[in-house]
Structure 1
Amino acid sequence: MYKINKLSNNVEKLEQRLFRDLNIRERQHLQEWIAKNPEMLGEDLLIIQKEFDGFNDTNERLDLLAIDKNGGLVIIENKLDDTGRDVVWQALKYASYCSTLTTSQIIKIFQSYLDKWSNNEDAKQNLLDFLEKNDDELLLNKNDQRIIFVANNYRKEVTSTVLWLLRHNIQVQCFRATPYSMSDDVFLQVEQIIPLPETKEFMIDAQEKEKEVQDKSKNIQESEQRLVKFWSQFKSKLTEQKIDYLDRVASKTEYSIGFWKGPSKFAFCLGKTNFRVELYIPNDTNKIYFDAIFRHKSEVESSFDGIITWERLDTKKASRVRFDMPNELLNKLEGKFNDEIYWGDLFNWYIDAMQRFFRAVNPVWERVLKEV
């Protein structure tokens, strides 16, 4: 890894280090960094517990427990310079323990976490906000559990086992965490190595074709397949136009997809009654980031042709800045997402809207990140 020196028009090599040489500890440091910044694992995750030991008849503890955007449980196991030999077996045990957790049990687990680490937050409401669902739609842990490993070095027996699990439709990801230093500055690189990001989407598609989903209705299956197809075609459209917004983002069964800029995400969203692009700030409990960018409201709006909506969302952790599809185009497309004949118009609007929105918002957002 290199640091770019613009003044000299050159690069300076960073020194690759070991965590132990930097006196970085697994639970005290790496685990806390991931808990506070789960987006470093390449997706929206909601941490609901750490050092979880609520398993019957065992004193074992899993490092981090999270919920993904599909309401599924994600077991996150962290190691430092070496995974050790038994990390896969350990994680599989935790996944099996978590497989029986009900929605009410998960809410209770999350509430105990919030009671310990946050102030007067409601677990169920946080889950509803994160999943963007109504109360009667909340169903957690309905699919197989996922496993994420984070370590600097992976032993051959670990990678071999992980690849075997992937071939048998067990969802496992491996991230390499590498520390670097230059003088007194220390840097951290986190990159997914198994499966490689460029092959993950293909693997998911292949697994979906082979696996019969047992507990979902035909409508839900069709809806999820349509979403993956929509985002895949949209990504291809972006690639054709040499726009790199989603190059490292996999097509998923979600109603929004986007790319991170610091603690926020620029996203393309399929709403229930509208389509929009937005700057979404997921963890803005004290509204520090929103208030900071809102102070530049006039500057942003003066450089943008359209109506920007500023949502502080005082009763929620998140906040957002959004641009909705104008009514004249929305009237043409409303309710037509299920019909692929309209996708081309929607792709064109998304691309134009995000490019204009990003040009207006991002320069101000980058200044805000330096100010806060």
Structure 2
Amino acid sequence: MFQVDLSQNRIQKLEEKRFSDLNLREREHLQEWLAGQPDALGEELLIIQKEFDGFADTRERLDLLALDKDGQLVVIENKLDDSGRDVTWQALKYTAYVSGLTKTQIIDIYQQYLDRYCGGGNAAAQICEFLDVEELGEVILNPGNDQRLIFIAANFRKEVTSTVLWLREHRIDARCFKVVPYVFGEELFVDIQPVIPTPEAADFMIGMAEKETEARGAQGEQKNRHKLRRDYWEMALEALKEAGDTLYQNISPSKDHWLSAGSGVRSCHYAMIFGKALLRVEFSFARASAEENKWLFDRLIQKREQIEADFGNKIEWLRLDDKKACRLQYEIPCDGFNRDEWPKHIAWHVEHIQKWERALRGPLAEVNQALKANGGVS
């Protein structure tokens, strides 16, 4: 850190000191500085207690307890020249202790602070003012398990920085601030700078954390859907077995939204579809050759009237001219992920896949034979 002498157009280096060299103490000095100017930590904080010891079955004391603008509790642990090895464990204990504090308890803690150190005041009203809300009923304090930790020291041991980085990887908002005293003549200066995360990395890390949270949520949703589909197909396959169906007798449950079975025509298969909002039976022409798929489709659609009469419903015929494959399908809307509705859904699938296979079996064999007799598509 440098002092600028504009008259000489020069800078002069300030002398870096240790707190111990200056006879400065953690509680009497550093703690009081931060309690009086908490925005020195780079954000608006409301100090609600210092030397807080209101823990059941222990007389341990945390240095400073604060609220941030989201109503989250912030545990602030101060050290001077050396962070020590155990500060993270100490702060984690305190954070666990305060995680159970209720809104009423937090207001009482702050009221005690105001009465003892600030000459009184209305804790509830000041919290409302700090959070920019009009009424206490709108206030949510200490929600969930997102309590925060701030560590302050002139030097951080590797055990501490490694632990803080690990906590941040696990979405716990832990931060480190380096505080260094300087002297110039008779004047004393103190520099407080974030080191984890650095200012440059803070927005990036927040963005990455949000992305990770979104990804984890998506993964969790995906896992839930996979399990749900597997459960449905297990029940559906059991129902088909009980109905004497042989089409799916060698098929295993799947995590996918579809369950297919062979038709006797190469690369063409039957399928049952189970979606969040629909049930479907379909038949796909998925051979490597688009020409063969279209040829089979065109020959089969000539038997449309017979197939639909045998099936008992109008079928959607999708030639899909811009794609290699073709498809036939019949579907209905449903509340697919409502397990209470599954017996009805499964009965529908059992009934319609059997009708589907019976209606298509003969015509498919005919067009497949014609393809073979023709030696493929000419």
- Shorter chain as denominator, the TM-score bin is 0.5 to 0.7
Residues 1:45 and 2:48 aligned together: no
Match of 2:33 in 1: 33
Specify the code of the residue in structure 2 equivalent to 1:66: A
Match of 1:78 in 2: 78
- 1:240-293 deviation digits (Å, cap 9, x = unpaired): xxxxxxxxxxxxxxxxxxxxxxxxxxxxxxxxxxxxxxxxxxxxxxxxxxxxxx
Match of 1:140 in 2: 141
Residues 1:199 and 2:201 aligned together: yes
Report the Cα offset of residue 183 of structure 1. Answer: 1.4
Match of 2:154 in 1: 152
Match of 2:270 in 1: none
Report the Cα offset of residue 198 of structure 1. Answer: 1.1
Unpaired stretches in structure 2, ≥5 consecutive residues:
218-378
The residue correspondences of 1:186-265 to structure 2 (distance < 5 A) are: 186-211=188-213
Distance 1:186 1:8 in 2: 22
Alignment check: 8 A CA contact 2:85 2:157 kept: yes
Match of 1:167 in 2: 169
Residues 1:88 and 2:79 aligned together: no
TM-score (norm 2): 0.55
Distance 1:41 1:210 in 2: 26
Q: State percent identity of aligned pairs.
A: 55
Specify the code of the residue in structure 2 equivalent to 1:188: V
The residue correspondences of 1:3-22 to structure 2 (distance < 5 A) are: 3-22=3-22
Q: Secondary structure at the match of 1:94?
A: helix
Match of 2:343 in 1: none
Runs of 4+ in 1 over 4 A off after TM superposition: none
Distance 2:210 2:58 in 1: 34
Distance 1:94 1:211 in 2: 26
Specify the code of the residue in structure 2 equivalent to 1:177: V
Match of 1:67 in 2: 67
Distance 2:201 2:185 in 1: 37
Deviates more, 1:29-38 or 1:119-128: 119-128
Specify the code of the residue in structure 2 equivalent to 1:109: I
Report the Cα offset of residue 185 of structure 1. Answer: 1.1
Report the Cα offset of residue 61 of structure 1. Answer: 0.2
Distance 1:4 1:205 in 2: 37
Bigger CA radius of gyration: 2
Report the Cα offset of residue 97 of structure 1. Answer: 0.4
Specify the code of the residue in structure 1 equivalent to 2:56: N
Report the Cα offset of residue 211 of structure 1. Answer: 2.5
Report the Cα offset of residue 197 of structure 1. Answer: 1.0
Distance 1:78 1:61 in 2: 12
Distance 1:154 1:120 in 2: 37
Distance 2:120 2:95 in 1: 29
- 1:204-262 deviation digits (Å, cap 9, x = unpaired): 12212332699xxxxxxxxxxxxxxxxxxxxxxxxxxxxxxxxxxxxxxxxxxxxxxxx
Specify the code of the residue in structure 2 equivalent to 1:183: G
Specify the code of the residue in structure 2 equivalent to 1:190: I
Q: Secondary structure at the match of 1:201?
A: helix
Coordinate RMSD, CA, aligned: 1.3
Distance 1:137 1:79 in 2: 36
Specify the code of the residue in structure 1 equivalent to 2:139: L
The residue correspondences of 1:203-352 to structure 2 (distance < 5 A) are: 203-211=205-213
Q: Secondary structure at the match of 1:83?
A: coil
Distance 1:119 1:189 in 2: 30
Alignment check: 8 A CA contact 2:19 2:80 kept: yes
Specify the code of the residue in structure 1 equivalent to 2:142: N
Alignment check: 8 A CA contact 2:111 2:120 kept: no
Specify the code of the residue in structure 1 equivalent to 2:184: M
Q: Secondary structure at the match of 1:97?
A: helix
Report the Cα offset of residue 140 of structure 1. Answer: 0.2
Residues 1:101 and 2:138 aligned together: no
- 1:310-332 deviation digits (Å, cap 9, x = unpaired): xxxxxxxxxxxxxxxxxxxxxxx
Specify the code of the residue in structure 2 equivalent to 1:210: E
Report the Cα offset of residue 201 of structure 1. Answer: 1.1
Distance 1:118 1:159 in 2: 35
Distance 1:3 1:57 in 2: 50
Specify the code of the residue in structure 2 equivalent to 1:165: L
Match of 1:122 in 2: 122
Match of 2:184 in 1: 182
Distance 2:76 2:53 in 1: 14
- 1:164-186 deviation digits (Å, cap 9, x = unpaired): 11111110110000001111111
Paired residues, number: 214
